[in-house]
Amino acid sequence: MAKSDYYGTLGVRRDASPDEIKKAYRRLARELHPDVNPDPATQERFKEITQAYEVLSDPNKRQMYDLGGDPFSSGAGAGAGGFGAGFPFSDIMDAFFGASGASRGPRSRARRGRNATIRVELELRETAFGTTRELTVDTAVLCKVCTGSGASPGTHPDTCDMCHGRGEVSQVTRSFLGQVMTSRPCPQCGGFGSIIRTPCPECSGDGRVRTRRTIKVRIPAGVEDGTHIQLAGEGEVGPGGGPPGDLFLEIVELPHDIFERRGDDLHCTVQIPMTAAALGTILSVETLDGKEEIDVRPGTQSGQVIPLYNRGVQRLNESGRGDLLIHVNVETPTKLDPQQEELLRELAKLRGEERPPGKFAPGQQGFFSRLRDAFNGR
C-alpha cells in the first residue's frame, strides 16, 4: 500500500511547527466533522485528517514517519482507520467549543460597573487656568443593607439543585465519534451556581441602589471644548457589589464675548479710526490677566496683527502659555461734516491724492478682466 501523505492531507509544509499542524487540523475538523457534514465521503476524509494529525502531533510518530517507517508499529496507536490512545479528542472539542470540555465553573455575581459620562460647562477663564468644581452625579452605589450580596439580611444564597453549584449543566449526545459531552449555563440559576431565595428588600437582589452624590473634581488648566477627563472608580458600582466603573467628564467650553480660542492661542479684533492708524496711538485692551496697553504704530493697516506673547491659554500638561493675537480693523468714516471734509480734501491735496491712480495688488483683477474670465468660463 502506498504511503499516505499526512502533510498533504492537512495542507501544511513538511517543516510545519506543531502549532501550525494543530491549527490546520482544527480548521479542517470544523468543516468535516460528521455532525456538521454527514456525507459518507466527508466522513472518510475526516478519518484521514484525524489519522494524519495523530501522527504529526506526536514527535516520536512524526520522526518515524519522516524516516519512512510505520508510525503505528510500536503499538502506541491504532492501525489505519482506527483511533487509539493518541486520538486527539481534546483538539476536536477545542475546534468546536473553544475548550477541552473542562468545566468553566459558576459565574460570579459581582461584575464591574458601567462607565458614566457627564458634560461640564466651563468659561474660557476656567479652561485657561483650571478650576475646581463640585458635581452632582446620579449613580449606583453599594447597597448598605446587604453589602452587595443581594440576599436579605440573615439569609444567604442557596446552592442550585439543578447544577449543584457548578453553574452549568452537561448534555451527552451520540455522534460518529461516540458519546460527546457539551456544557451550557444552568438555566435555573443563570450560571451563578446559587439562587437568592430571599432578595434584599432595599436593592431587590441587585446588590446596589441608585442615589445622588456630590464629588469635587479638579479641572486642569489648558482643557478645551471636547476634552474628556477620566476619573477612575467614580462610575457606577457593579451588580453584586462589583467594582465601580469610571466617570468621564466631557468639557464644554462656552463662547467668550471678546476672545476666540484656536488651540492655545486667543484671537480678538479691535476697531481703530483711520487717524489713529495713520498717526499711531496707545490702546488699552482686555486680556485674561486684566487690562494691558499696546502700542499701535503709525501707518498700521487694516488686518494687521499685534501679538501679545504669553497671554493665551495655559498649555495642557506642559509649561508655558499660548499668545493673544490682536487683529486691527481700521474704520473709514462714512459721514463727515463740512469742516472735516474740507480738512480731508486739504490733506489729499497736500499728499497729491485728489485723484488717486489706484493700484491693483498682486493677484487682483480689474473689472474688464473679471468680465472676460466670466465669459470664458474660468
Q: Residue 51 in contact with residue 80, Cβ under 8 Å?
A: yes
Phi/psi of residue 27, each to 5°?
-65, -45
Three cell numbers at 175?
455522534
Which letter does DSSP use for residue 253 in this model?
E
Residue 189 assigned as binding residue: yes
Identify which of 64, 68, 53, 40 has the alpha carbon closest to the alpha carbon of residue 12: 53
Q: How many CA atoms lie within 13 A of 33 on its CB side?
A: 18
Cα distances (angstroms) measured from residue 16 to each of 19, 20, 23, 24, 210:
8, 6, 11, 10, 57
Task: Tell me the three state secondary structure of residue 49.
Answer: helix
Cα distances (angstroms) measured from residue 83 to each of 24, 50, 51, 63:
19, 9, 8, 20
Which letter does DSSP use for residue 245 in this model?
-
Whole-number Å distance between alpha carbons of 287 and 45: 81
- For the chain, state the CA radius of gyration: 41
Which letter does DSSP use for residue 319 in this model?
S
Whole-number Å distance between alpha carbons of 151 and 199: 5
The per-residue b/e assignment along 42-64, b for 16 or more CB within 10 angstroms, e otherwise, is: eeebbbbbbbbbbbbbbeebbeb
Residue 186 assigned as binding residue: yes
Residue 268 assigned as binding residue: no
Residue 143 assigned as binding residue: yes
Q: Residue 118 in contact with residue 252, Cβ under 8 Å?
A: no
Annotated binding site for Zn(2+): 143, 146, 160, 163, 186, 189, 200, 203
Annotated binding site: 143, 146, 160, 163, 186, 189, 200, 203
